[in-house]
Amino acid sequence: MLASVKAQTLEESEVPKYTLPALTILNNGKDVKTAKVWESKRRDEIISLLKNEMYGIMPKKPKRMVFKVFDMDSTAINGKATRKQVRVIFDKKADSIFMDILIYIPNKIKQPVPLILGLNFAGNQEALNDPKIKITESWVSKKSKGAIKNKATEASRGNAEDVFPIERMIDEGYAAATIYAGDIDPDYLDLNNAVQSLYPKLQNRKDNFSTIGAWAWGLSRAMDYFEKDKQVDEKRVVLTGLSRLGKAALWAGALDQRFAMVISTESGKGGDALFKREFGESVDRITKVFPQWFCLNFDKYANNVSQMPFDQHMVLALVAPRPLYIGTAIEDLNEDPKGEFLSLKAAELVYKLFGFNGLPINQLPKVNQPIQTDKLGFHIREGKHGITAYDWHNYFVFIKSRL
Ligand code: GTR
């Protein structure tokens, strides 16, 4: 049984007074006045704070990693695309630990093509109703549609076509790639299994990389592959993610500057929303319901949010000066839409250091009124937690003029 969880605030009037940790003051107390000092000094300070206290430290790029293209078919999606499936074995001496990248590349484009990447919740076979996609053999949640005893089945093919619209991406001239998050690290409490088992020296450390950290690490390994794939323009890779996978996309995009753009949908606490508002999902809940997501050091903030020396505006600021879009929904109170907006609003300071615009407003915008500046995007749509055609419409507008 789960230990009792502190009640969650859904009343704006109960939001405590808080001060966000400063983005542009160095640990030695000096102001960061230029993008150069941000890049050369403050960025690293913030990254080590977030690694130590929240997401865990991360291993470097593995030396013995191998990529095996085990499927290639130029007749996919009615001849519009080439499907590739690539197995990434992180360490050739431990080949039972791998992730499979599913990639579709538009056939009409002959030069290296920009790509949209996102993790998926229950196996690559969910991404498109294409019988040639390998069904994941990794653990999947029992809640996944079609899962039997934590294994994916044929019944799950194409379940998530709306979440990550591959055919639309192909039609718009982008390659699409997806990876099952659970190939990298299954979403249950075991901080030493899957990819973490490759790094025994990190085990039992309070700053060992967590599940969200592992997913982010896996996204960077996908980028290692794209750098080698001549059909992909690795300088134009957009990272996307919904909800917990948005948390991972943001963290990967924050750390790995090879990603050209990040789009996060309703990633909430541990993603784009401010913890210090203490509105919606609490740190107490997230550390008890999902103890695998963050490193053990993070648990000490469960009922101690005011003492946190960091908050999520720092993660967003690390994406600067690259384009960043946050999408949310009015009924998704668990993720705290206002806290998602205010987090982006706080992060704009760093975009301004680089000479780019901040958001033209100070308050959460009205529903269905998207804002797009030179580098930032935000919308709050009507409806519940999830991702809709409306979200994707706005993302494509943003991507087209900024990638
Ligand atoms: C919820 C969790 C959120 C969000 C979401 C999801 O239960 O409270 O932080 O990540 O799951 O991933 O669907």
**Span 151-155, average pLDDT:** 97
pLDDT, tens digit, 9 for 90 and up, residues 23-51 = 999 999 999 999 999 999 999 999 999 99
In the annotation, is 385 catalytic? yes
- Is the CB–ligand 1 distance for residue 264 below 6 Å? no
Spatial contact of 89 and 65, defined as CB atoms under 8 Å apart: yes
For domain 12-402, give the CATH superfamily. Answer: Alpha/Beta hydrolase fold, catalytic domain (3.40.50.1820)
**Span 146-170, average pLDDT:** 97
Pocket test for ligand 1, best of 275, 281, 298 (most atoms within 8 A of CB): 281
Dist. CA 375–CA 354, nearest whole Å: 11
The pLDDT score that the predictor gives to residue 276 is: 97
pLDDT, tens digit, 9 for 90 and up, residues 80-101 = 999 999 999 999 999 999 999 9
pLDDT, tens digit, 9 for 90 and up, residues 247-257 = 999 999 999 99
SS3 113: strand
In the annotation, is 243 catalytic? yes
Distances (CA, A) of 54 to 26, 202, 207, 373: 20, 15, 8, 30
Pocket test for ligand 1, best of 5, 244, 294, 340 (most atoms within 8 A of CB): 244
Query: Whose CA is closest to 218, among 304, 132, 100?
Result: 100
